[in-house]
C-alpha cells in the first residue's frame, strides 16, 4: 500500500522555486474563479470551490486575491471568461501525457500546446488516445515538515480514514482515495490531527511507464516542465516513473 515516488521528489523540488510559486498562485486563483462561476460563491455548497480555497490558503495565497477570484467567478467584477479543455499526447518513449487547460482562446492554446509537444520530442494526440490509462482519484498531499508521524503510523491513519493507497518521498506523503471519498478522507485526516497541504481530484495512471535511461528521462521532464509552465496549463499528468537505477538529483 505504501511506496516511494522518485518522480514526486523531483516535482516537489521544482515547486519550491519562486517562479513556480508565482505560477501556482495564478493557477489557484483561476481555479477559484471557475469553481465559483460553475457552482456559486458559497464554499459550503460548492465542494470544488471549498477545496480550491483550502489549497490556496495552504499555499499562502493572500485572502484578498481569493475574494477577488470568487467575485470574478460569480459576476461581481469584470474578468476573462475561461474555457476548460483537456489535451492528450505522448512524451518521448511513448510516455502518456494529459494536460488540463483553462483558456480564453482555444485556437491559440491548441497551437501553442502542439508546438510544445513537437519541440520537445513528443506529439499531441487525439482525444482518448491515452485517457484510458488514467483514473480520476482524490489526491491529498501532506508535508513531512508539518507532520511528525512515522511512515507506519501515517499509513495506518490514512487507511483508517478510507485511503486506497499512500506513496511517500523525502518531502511528503501522497494519499490517494476514490474520487467520491476525497472530502471524507480529508476530513478524517484533519480530525486525526493531520493537516493536508493540498487536496484535489487528479488523474492517476493505472500503469506506470518506468524509464531507466537518463537522457530519455531528461527529455520527458523537459517536455512536462514546458507544458506545466504554459500560462493556460492547470495540471499536467503523466504515467512516467523513474527507475530506481536513476538519481533524481542528476536529472
User: What's the whole-number mean pLDDT along residues 2-20?
Assistant: 55
In this predicted structure, what is the pLDDT of residue 50? 94
Which residues is 139 bridged to in the sheet?
A: 176, 200
Please report whether residue 174 resides in a domain: no
Please report whether residue 213 resides in a domain: no
In this predicted structure, what is the pLDDT of residue 243? 87
In this predicted structure, what is the pLDDT of residue 18? 54
What is the extent of the structural domain holding 56?
A: 2-74
The structural domain count of the chain equals: 1
Please report whether residue 224 resides in a domain: no
pLDDT band at 16 (very low <50, low <70, confident <90, very high): low
Please report whether residue 80 resides in a domain: no
pLDDT digits (tens, 9 = 90+) for 71-128: 989 885 566 788 899 999 999 999 999 999 999 999 999 999 999 999 999 999 999 9
In this predicted structure, what is the pLDDT of residue 171? 85
Please report whether residue 47 resides in a domain: yes
pLDDT digits (tens, 9 = 90+) for 184-228: 999 999 999 999 988 999 999 998 999 999 999 999 999 999 999
* For residue 7, pLDDT beyond 60: no
In this predicted structure, what is the pLDDT of residue 169? 82
In this predicted structure, what is the pLDDT of residue 52? 94
Global pTM reads 0.84
* For residue 2, pLDDT beyond 50: no
List of E strands, the chain: 2-4, 83-91, 95-103, 123-124, 134-143, 165-168, 172-178, 198-205, 209-211, 233-238, 240-242
In this predicted structure, what is the pLDDT of residue 1? 45
In this predicted structure, what is the pLDDT of residue 168? 87
Handedness of CA 4, 211, 131, 30 (dihedral sign): positive
User: What's the whole-number mean pLDDT along residues 41-46?
Assistant: 94
Mean pLDDT of the chain: 89
Q: Tell me the DSSP string of 118-158.
A: HHTT-EE--TTTTGGGEEEEEEEEEEGGG----HHHHHHHH
Q: Which residue has the higher pLDDT, 244 or 56?
A: 56
In this predicted structure, what is the pLDDT of residue 5? 54
Please report whether residue 211 resides in a domain: no
pLDDT digits (tens, 9 = 90+) for 124-148: 999 999 999 999 999 999 999 889 8
CATH of the domain at 68: 1.10.10.200
Please report whether residue 18 resides in a domain: yes
Three cell numbers at 28? 489557484
Please report whether residue 14 resides in a domain: yes
Residue 154 Cα to chain centre, angstroms:
22
Amino acid at each position: 500500500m505504501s511506496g516511494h515516488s522518485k518522480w514526486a521528489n523531483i516535482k516537489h523540488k521544482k515547486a519550491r522555486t519562486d517562479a513556480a510559486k508565482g505560477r501556482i498562485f495564478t493557477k489557484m486563483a483561476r481555479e477559484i474563479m471557475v469553481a465559483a462561476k460553475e457552482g456559486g460563491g458559497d464554499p459550503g455548497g460548492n465542494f470544488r470551490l471549498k477545496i480550491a480555497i483550502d489549497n490556496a490558503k495552504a499555499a499562502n495565497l493572500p485572502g484578498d486575491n481569493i475574494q477577488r477570484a470568487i467575485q470574478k467567478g460569480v459576476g461581481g467584477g469584470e474578468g476573462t471568461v475561461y474555457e476548460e479543455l483537456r489535451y492528450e499526447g505522448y512524451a518521448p518513449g511513448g510516455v502518456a501525457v494529459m494536460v488540463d487547460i483553462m483558456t480564453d482562446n482555444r485556437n491559440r492554446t491548441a497551437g501553442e500546446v502542439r508546438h510544445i509537444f513537437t519541440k520537445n520530442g513528443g506529439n499531441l494526440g487525439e482525444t482518448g488516445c491515452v485517457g484510458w490509462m488514467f483514473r480520476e482519484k482524490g489526491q491529498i498531499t501532506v508535508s513531512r515538515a508539518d507532520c511528525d508521524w512515522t511512515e507506519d503510523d501515517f499509513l495506518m491513519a490514512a487507511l483508517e480514514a478510507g485511503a486506497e493507497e499512500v506513496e511517500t518521498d523525502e518531502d511528503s506523503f501522497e494519499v490517494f482515495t476514490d474520487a467520491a471519498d476525497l472530502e471524507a478522507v480529508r476530513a478524517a485526516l484533519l480530525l486525526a490531527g493531520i493537516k493536508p497541504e493540498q487536496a484535489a481530484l487528479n488523474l492517476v495512471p493505472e500503469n506506470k511507464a518506468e524509464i531507466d535511461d537518463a537522457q530519455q528521462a531528461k527529455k520527458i521532464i523537459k517536455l512536462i516542465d514546458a507544458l506545466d509552465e504554459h500560462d493556460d496549463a492547470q495540471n499536467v499528468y503523466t504515467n512516467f516513473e523513474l527507475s530506481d537505477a536513476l538519481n533524481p538529483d542528476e536529472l
